[in-house]
Amino acid sequence: MKSILFKILMVVLAVFIVLQFFGVDKTVPETEPSADFLNIHQPPENVESIFRSACYDCHSYETTYPWYSNIQPVAWWLQDHIDEGREEMNLSTWQNYTAEDADHYLEEMIEVVDEEEMPLPSYTWTHSEARLTDQQRDALTDWASELRTSKQ
């Protein structure tokens, strides 16, 4: 019995080691800083801080990869979340959105933050700074609502 368990453990370890050779692509395209959401709209410092701590890792090209992003298969899972976030809304390329799309993204942003759907719980487990208080949620959604109103 011990021999079989040892062999299984060795196979699992070998597979784990081989997986480490298949990392994710962490390169990002060059972007113009003037196209970035925060540079365009220049929110108050407290709101900018919320964006940077709770949104920018997945919804921009300014991702800060933690150490465990180098371990497969965790890295694949993380990169999938980042790719989905950027595809859904990319704050680094905000200038490329039409006025109608930008307004829609602001509306969605307000909704998902207000309903506590964002940031994702799986993100806040390891990023305590992204756990938003009610006051932070209100500050972000109030500012985004004012921005939407001012653009209409």
User: How many domains are contained in the chain?
Assistant: 1
Reported confidence tier of residue 151, pLDDT bands at 50, 70, 90:
low
Q: Tell me whether residue 20 is in a domain.
A: no
How many residues are there in the chain?
A: 152
Per-residue pLDDT tens digits for 11-25: 888 888 887 888 778
Q: Tell me whether residue 21 is in a domain.
A: no
Q: Tell me whether residue 127 is in a domain.
A: yes
Q: Tell me whether residue 10 is in a domain.
A: no
Q: Tell me whether residue 2 is in a domain.
A: no
96, 32 in Cβ contact below 8 A?
no
State phi, psi for 104 to the nearest 5 degrees: -60, -45
Cis bond upstream, residue 44 (ω within 30): no
Q: Tell me whether residue 15 is in a domain.
A: no
Cβ neighbours, 10 Å, residue 143: 20
Q: Tell me whether residue 1 is in a domain.
A: no
What does pTM read for this prediction? 0.83
**Which residue type is seen at 44?**
P
Q: Tell me whether residue 16 is in a domain.
A: no
Which residues form the domain of 32? 26-151
Per-residue pLDDT tens digits for 42-100: 999 999 999 999 999 999 999 988 888 888 988 888 889 899 999 999 999 999 999 99
State phi, psi for 105 to the nearest 5 degrees: -65, -40
pLDDT of 36: 95
